[in-house]
Each structure stands twice: as structure tokens, then as C-alpha cells.
Amino acid sequence: MITVLFGGSRPEGNTAELTRYTLDGLDYTWVDVTQYQFNPVRDVRHEDYYIESYEDDYKQLIDLVLESDTVIFASPVYWYSISASLKAFIDHWSETMEDKDYHDFKSKMAIKDFRLILVGGDCPKVKAKPCITQMKYSVEFLGGELKGYIIGTAEKPGDIKKDIYALDRAREWNEELGK
């Protein structure tokens, strides 16, 4: 099962277009994380306390991710990072590691096929590098691996269709994920 965690502010923008192109003809679940509410993260690592409940939308999304084989993070590059909504979801992983109901969280996440699709307009093949590193380290902390990334260059609506390199990589992923 493929799950896309989409963090863009434009549901029909270049990031969404490149991601849908990548998955054309494949079965996947699209989750627009901007439509979900994430409360501030509770850091209980140094307390005698465990997370026992979530009072936002996080649990339903992490349960979906845990059922998935492939997880694709898709985000425009905002200030050299992924979107705030996608980052808020990832920040909640800290809570999950302190939740007894998810005692096997890290081992389950370690076997996911994690991938990243980024689109930016200001030299993203250079300026998205911190974002790639951020995602790589986040996944590695759980014992997993970021299996790949696609960086698209687009500024105005529809510009992604001009990025031949990103489209070629998207086709490669489509063939690989379709096997």
C-alpha cells in the first residue's frame, strides 16, 4: 500500500501535479496533511509519564502510515524545509515513541519504503539539500532509510511540466513502484 503525505498549500499545485504524475495508474492513498489538526508536541522523555491519548488528528494518520508499505512525503520547499503541516506530523513521532500502545513503532517504521518529492522555484536542486538531510536523518533515527527523492523546479502553476529531469525520475519511480 502506497500512502502520500501531501503538505502543500495548493492541492492542484506543482508538487501535487508531480506526485500524481509519479503515481499515475498506481493504487495509492492521498492524505492532505494541511487538512488535519496537530496539537503541539508533548515531550515526556524525561518525565515519569507516557503518552496515552491524542486529542488531535495524529493517531488516525500514524495508523495509516503504519499500515503502508511505501510512504511518500510530498512538499513544496518552504524556507529550505518541508511544509509546517508535514513537519508537525513528523514531530509527533516523538510522542509515538513514548506511547505504550506503539511499543514496536520504530521497528515498523524501519521497514517502510520512504521517499520524498520536493518542488521549489528558487534553485531547489541546491536549496532543498537541507530538507533532504532533515528527512534522511528523521527516517534514519527510526532505523529506516530514505530510499530516494525527486526535486522538481517550478515557480508558476504548471511549470513542473517543463522539468524534464523530475518527470523522468517520476516515470522511473512509477515503474519501480508498479512492480
pTM: 0.93
Here the cell at position 75 is 512538499
- How far apart, in whole angstroms, are the C-alpha atoms of residue 74 and residue 91? 16
20 Cβ neighbours under 8 A, 6+ residues apart: none
Asked whether the predicted pLDDT for residue 49 surpasses 70, the reply is: no
CA distance 4 to 30: 5
Mean pLDDT of the chain: 93
Measured from the Cβ of residue 39, the count of other Cβ atoms closer than 10 Å reads: 13
pLDDT in tens, 115-143: 999 999 988 998 999 999 999 999 999 99
pLDDT for residue 43 is more than 80: no
With a pLDDT cut of 70, the percent of the chain lying above it is 99
How far apart (Å, rounded) are the C-alpha atoms in residues 132 and 129? Answer: 5
Domains of the chain, with CATH numbers?
Answer: 1-176 (3.40.50.360)
- 66 has pLDDT over 90: yes
More confident residue, 97 or 86: 86
What pLDDT does 44 receive?
Answer: 72
Beta-carbon neighbour count of residue 28 at 10 Å? 17
- Residue-level pLDDT at 111: 97
Q: How far apart are CA 1 and CA 157, in angstroms?
A: 29
pLDDT tens digits, one per residue of 71-89: 999 999 988 899 999 999 9
